[in-house]
Amino acid sequence: MAYLLKFLDIFRWKKHYGREWGIQKIFMDFIKERMNRIMSKVYIFFADGFEDIEGLTVVDLMRRAGIDIQTVSIKETKEIRTSHGIDLLTDRTFGECDFSDADMLVIPGGMPGTKYLNEYQPLRDLLADFYKKGGKVAAICAAPTVLASLGFLEKRKATAYPSCMEGLAGAERSLESVVVDGNVTTSRGLGTAVDFALSLIGQLLGEKKADEIAESVVYSRK
């Protein structure tokens, strides 16, 4: 129904102004945005001890943008406890997913969450295969060290939490809040979580949508 009302609004605009090019552009932009939303599928992986804000900020802002982001536990159950002792249930367990529809894979930082994610071989195998096929991968805080251990950051620009920068083997280390180099995105930590999430939204739906989400939560992008 919402789509129909939007179309009728556009039709009335065309009738009033009589500009064929205008109706075509508005309608095509609308369809493109909706198709991007439908097609965008993201998985974010949680282990006990992941950093609450880094993980959930991505989930929150992506869902505001209409992106289908699924939280995935690497445990056999959906029950996860964050690094600050908050208990939550993920959407799925790792074993319940085949990830064939993924457009992006995201891993948050925090300890010991990052350690557990790095030690979980099925996730490492998935990341390696996805990256090899050109899929977008993203990590924040300590988690970029997981990407480094897989060789993803070799000769790439990347960033991480200050005490984890030495773990970015082969990378050109950066102090930028968010670094996008090809299909790899890295970010520094809790304080850059909103910028990180908005960058990912921009990559999937365009910067206009990212700016729209930033404005909706009263956030000024740098």
Q: The tokens 């805080």 sit on which residue? A: 141
- How far apart, in whole angstroms, are the C-alpha atoms of residue 92 and residue 193? 23
Catalytic residue among 67, 117, 137, 141: 141
The reported pLDDT for the residue numbered 2 is 44
Whether residue 221 is contained in a domain is answered as no
Same domain membership, residue 20 and residue 84 = no
Whether residue 222 is contained in a domain is answered as no
Structural domain of 154: 40-216
Same domain membership, residue 80 and residue 29 = no
Q: 162: domain CATH number?
A: 3.40.50.880
Whether residue 198 is contained in a domain is answered as yes
* Tens digit of each residue's pLDDT, the chain (222 residues): 444 445 445 545 454 445 555 555 555 555 555 554 456 899 999 999 999 999 999 999 999 999 999 999 999 999 999 999 999 999 999 999 999 999 999 999 999 999 999 999 999 999 999 999 999 999 999 999 999 999 999 999 999 999 999 999 999 999 999 999 999 999 999 999 999 999 999 999 999 999 999 999 999 987
Whether residue 197 is contained in a domain is answered as yes
Same domain membership, residue 159 and residue 54 = yes
The reported pLDDT for the residue numbered 22 is 59
Q: Give pTM, 2 decimals.
A: 0.83
Same domain membership, residue 91 and residue 200 = yes
Same domain membership, residue 45 and residue 17 = no
- What CA–CA distances, in Å, run from 195 to 128, 180, 185, 219? 25, 12, 11, 9
The reported pLDDT for the residue numbered 40 is 87
Same domain membership, residue 72 and residue 29 = no
Same domain membership, residue 48 and residue 35 = no
Same domain membership, residue 67 and residue 170 = yes
Same domain membership, residue 106 and residue 9 = no
Whether residue 63 is contained in a domain is answered as yes
Same domain membership, residue 210 and residue 181 = yes
Find the farthest-apart pair of alpha carbons in the chain and give their distance in angstroms, rounded: 62
Per-residue pLDDT tens over the stretch 51-87 = 999 999 999 999 999 999 999 999 999 999 999 999 9
Same domain membership, residue 34 and residue 102 = no
Whether residue 209 is contained in a domain is answered as yes
The reported pLDDT for the residue numbered 19 is 55
The reported pLDDT for the residue numbered 222 is 72
Q: Please, which residues have CB within 8 angstroms of residue 88's CB and are 6 or more apart in sequence? A: 46, 79, 80, 81, 82
Task: Count how many domains the chain has.
Answer: 2
The reported pLDDT for the residue numbered 101 is 96
Query: How many CB atoms are located within 10 Å of the residue 60 CB?
Result: 17
Q: Is 141 a catalytic residue?
A: yes
Strands (E), the chain: 41-46, 68-73, 79-81, 87-89, 92-93, 104-107, 136-140, 157-158, 172-173, 178-181, 184-187
The reported pLDDT for the residue numbered 3 is 44
- How far apart, in whole angstroms, are the C-alpha atoms of residue 206 and residue 25? 16
- How far apart, in whole angstroms, are the C-alpha atoms of residue 94 and residue 74? 5
Tell how strand 178-181 and strand 172-173 pair up.
unpaired
Q: Is 160 helix (H, G, I), strand (E, B) or coil?
A: coil
Same domain membership, residue 53 and residue 4 = no
Whether residue 29 is contained in a domain is answered as yes
